[in-house]
Chains A and B, each alone.
Chain A
Amino acid sequence: MSELTPEEVKHHIKTYVLVFIALAFLTIVTVGISYLDLGHVGGIILALIVASIKGTLVACYFMHLLDEKVTIYWTLIATVVAFLILIFVPLSAMLDHARI
């Protein structure tokens, strides 16, 4: 990102402030939701959706993922795939186990 002009940086700064406001707002939202009675599964799904939105905002804007290079994208794709395997395969093994 060494090629940024001062104008662009100033523009970035505006984005950062907006993202900050969004993050703070979503934090309040997710706490608020947790006090509603949405049932077990509904609550989990909603909270995870909100957290994912917040995470995406941080990654895309603060970590500048939106204008990153392909090498980084490939690395992260591999990581996400490995992460999903790590989360879901042991879980499915356990659920399959419980059925017999």
Chain B
Amino acid sequence: MSTDQYKQSFWTKYIWSTDHKIIGIQYGITSLVWLLFGFGLMMIMRYQLAYPDTPVPIVGALLGEGGLLPPEMYNSLGAMHGTIMIFLGVVPLAFGAFGNYFVPLQIGAIDMAFPKLNAASYWTYFAGSVIMATGFFVPGGAANSGWTSYPPLSEIATMGQTVWLIGMVMLITSSLLGSVNILVTVIQLRTDGLTWMRLPIFVWTQFITAFLLLLAFPPLEAAGVLQLMDRVVGTSFFMPSGLVVTGEVMTNAGGGSPLLWQHLFWFLAHPEVYVLILPAFGIVAEIIANNTRKPLAGYKALVYAMVFLAFMSFIVWAHHMYITGMGTSIGAFFQTTTMIISIPSVVILTALLLSLWGGSIRFNTPMLFALGFIPMFGIGGLTGLPLGLAAADIHLHDTYYVIGHFHYVVAPGTIFALFAGIYYWFPKITGKRTNELLGKLHFFFSLIFMNGVFMPMFIQGLAGVSRRLADGGQTYAHAADVIYLNEVMSYSAWLLGLAQIFFIINMVISLFGKKTGEKNPWDATTLEWTDTTSPPLGHGNFEIVPKVYRGPYEYSVPGEKQDFTPQSKKV
């Protein structure tokens, strides 16, 4: 059945499209470009850290005098690297791209509930990201107060900070539109028979993520508006009385509180880390079930653990603020909640590990990335525990140890999961296969160099090397023994960059390859593989809207002819 009888021009079909699949691809391409850009910023910083006072090759002319990277610009690159990776890269890829493309397909819906809103959400994201980037061209350069934008530093910072705030307000608005859309889609458009406990884990993770974005992001929008007011009309919401900057007393009315910003910021930013990790869990769960050819261990435990995780993520945020002179009772509260929230994380990881037990595992590229995710996320999570205890955090806070911790969760963690997802669903989106050899090279080199970049951070951090130092600790005596690691990390970073070339080449040649004509190359059970063509129909996704009769992971069911039983197969 061709529902596409009316002619569409290139513009209506690919640019102003309201089809969730096109919007998903738009999100995917834009966010991958931003990820690459953010990665590039980081490579410049790593050069400066490894070789202070040496001109930066290739891009040096764009930086400062003599091709050197001036410290203020180092700060800009750092702040923008963090912001871009998180808000323009990982979240739009994990939630915007994967969520948009696969949630409707996995629940048997013909599109998202509000297609126009969906397009609006993408274009708001796009505009917000462009505004964010224009910061590089305003006087004083892009925002340079860290991705956390702590006042009072951010209040007296150069104009780039104002641009950053405007960009953030737009990005938040875009996320809100996106999350309303996903929530309504999952609640209202599940096809017949697809009860809550039959949803693929991926859909659950997107659903929970949407709730986090919906409720945690607006307070940061409020805080962003307050900081804009401070910067533009001179209010003092975050400005304490009698602040002295370079010897001069500020003339603001004062009476504000920098801690207020920290509370509102982390009210979002802790749930945000679960926004970064939950979709990764979802992707990895799908791929593990598919490639072990057996049902996931503990489906219900996974679901309940994730719901509990989401709830708890609203009451742990001040573990980022232990050294602000927090009182002991509140400190005890946040240490307790932080220890409690690690329980569901462990439940999830255990369920994924147990799912491997006794499976006849297929080691294809997506599966390798999914398997890589597990120990990497494990390291990230376990190193978080000491940070959650104030006694240890007072030593570790703002050192490279923290940087190591969260990069293990987001880089070899979430980003591996996202790669896994790209390799897994590439045949769905294009009808073509990716090259296995290139994929495997991509995986093994990435795995090695990721660890080469981030493992030494723990060592430096434990030795007390602070984060956000433009010279990488050159001037500190206590860093002397570990400073050589800067070179190790920088080389790893560049090699990690080179390893991504395998990915890019793989994508390009696979895109130009021939269609395989296979509908379900991985022999999967969920609706997006069993009931649509690859790629799915333009409007409407399904030839016949499927009905669901069973759970999502019926692999190797005894008595069945095949080792997979589609969700839509009648009982």
Q: Consider the complex of A and B and state whether they touch directly, i.e. have CB atoms less than 8 Å apart.
A: yes
A71-B187, A82-B314 given as contacts; is B330 within 8 A of A96 (CB)? yes
Pair A78/B215 contact, Cβ less than 8 Å: yes
Pair B215/A100 contact, Cβ less than 8 Å: no
- A85 is contacted by which of B260, B314, B325, B330 (Cβ under 8 Å)? B314
Pair B267/A96 contact, Cβ less than 8 Å: no
A97 at the interface (CB under 8 A from B): yes
- A82 is contacted by which of B215, B324, B326, B327 (Cβ under 8 Å)? B215
Query: Could you say which of A12-20, A45-53, A59-67, A86-94 contacts chain B?
Result: A86-94
Pair B215/A79 contact, Cβ less than 8 Å: yes
A99 at the interface (CB under 8 A from B): yes
The interface residues of chain B, by DSSP majority, are classed as helix
Q: Whole-angstrom distance from the CB of B324 to the nearest CB of chain A?
A: 8
Residue of A nearest to B187 (CB): A71
**Bound Cα distance from A78 to B326, whole angstroms:** 27
CB-CB under 8 A from B187, the residues of chain A are 71
Pair B219/A86 contact, Cβ less than 8 Å: yes
**Bound Cα distance from A23 to B88, whole angstroms:** 46
Pair A96/B327 contact, Cβ less than 8 Å: yes
CB-CB under 8 A from A82, the residues of chain B are 215-216, 314
Task: Count CB-based A-B contacts (< 8 Å).
Answer: 44
B5 at the interface (CB under 8 A from A): no
- B330 is contacted by which of A78, A86, A92 (Cβ under 8 Å)? A92
CB-CB under 8 A from B318, the residues of chain A are 89, 93
Q: Whole-angstrom distance from the CB of B275 to the nearest CB of chain A?
A: 15
Pair A85/B315 contact, Cβ less than 8 Å: yes
Q: Whole-angstrom distance from the CB of A62 to the nearest CB of chain B?
A: 22
CB-CB under 8 A from B326, the residues of chain A are 93, 96-97
Per-position binary interface string of chain B over residues 237-271, scored 1 when its CB falls under 8 Å from any chain A CB and 0 otherwise: 00000000000000000000101100110010000
B328 at the interface (CB under 8 A from A): yes
Pair B263/A90 contact, Cβ less than 8 Å: yes
Residue of A nearest to B332 (CB): A96
Residues of B205-225 at the interface with A, using a CB-CB cut-off of 8 Å, are 211, 215-216, 219
Number of interface residues of B (CB under 8 A): 22
Which one of A85, A96, A100 has the highest number of Cβ atoms from chain B below 10 Å of its Cβ?
A96
- B328 is contacted by which of A71, A86, A100 (Cβ under 8 Å)? A100
B329 at the interface (CB under 8 A from A): yes
Pair A93/B327 contact, Cβ less than 8 Å: yes
Q: Whole-angstrom distance from the CB of A83 to the nearest CB of chain B?
A: 9
**Bound Cα distance from A90 to B219, whole angstroms:** 12
Residues of B409-437 at the interface with A, using a CB-CB cut-off of 8 Å, are none
Per-position binary interface string of chain B over residues 509-539, scored 1 when its CB falls under 8 Å from any chain A CB and 0 otherwise: 0000000000000000000000000000000
Residues of B291-349 at the interface with A, using a CB-CB cut-off of 8 Å, are 314-315, 318, 321, 324-330
**Bound Cα distance from A25 to B181, whole angstroms:** 40
Residues of B474-503 at the interface with A, using a CB-CB cut-off of 8 Å, are none
**Bound Cα distance from A71 to B211, whole angstroms:** 13
A78-B211, A90-B260, A94-B259 given as contacts; is B327 within 8 A of A99 (CB)? yes
CB-CB under 8 A from B211, the residues of chain A are 78
Per-position binary interface string of chain A over residues 6-46, scored 1 when its CB falls under 8 Å from any chain B CB and 0 otherwise: 00000000000000000000000000000000000000000
A71-B187, A78-B211, A82-B215 given as contacts; is B314 within 8 A of A96 (CB)? no
Pair A86/B267 contact, Cβ less than 8 Å: yes
Residue of A nearest to B324 (CB): A97
Residue of B nearest to A95 (CB): B327
Q: Whole-angstrom distance from the CB of B181 to the nearest CB of chain A?
A: 15
Q: Whole-angstrom distance from the CB of B564 to the nearest CB of chain A?
A: 33
**CB-defined A-B contacts under 8 Å, sample of 11:** A79-B215, A90-B263, A93-B318, A93-B321, A93-B330, A96-B328, A96-B330, A97-B259, A97-B327, A99-B327, A100-B328
Q: Can you list the 5 inter-chain pairs with the closest CB atoms, starting with the nearest? A: A96-B327, A90-B263, A96-B330, A82-B215, A93-B330
Known: A89-B318, A96-B326, A100-B327. 4 other contacts (CB 8 A): A79-B215, A90-B260, A93-B330, A97-B326
**Residues of A at under 8 Å CB distance from B?**
71, 78-79, 81-82, 85-86, 89-90, 92-94, 96-97, 99-100
**Residues of B at under 8 Å CB distance from A?**
187, 211, 215-216, 219, 257, 259-260, 263-264, 267, 314-315, 318, 321, 324-330
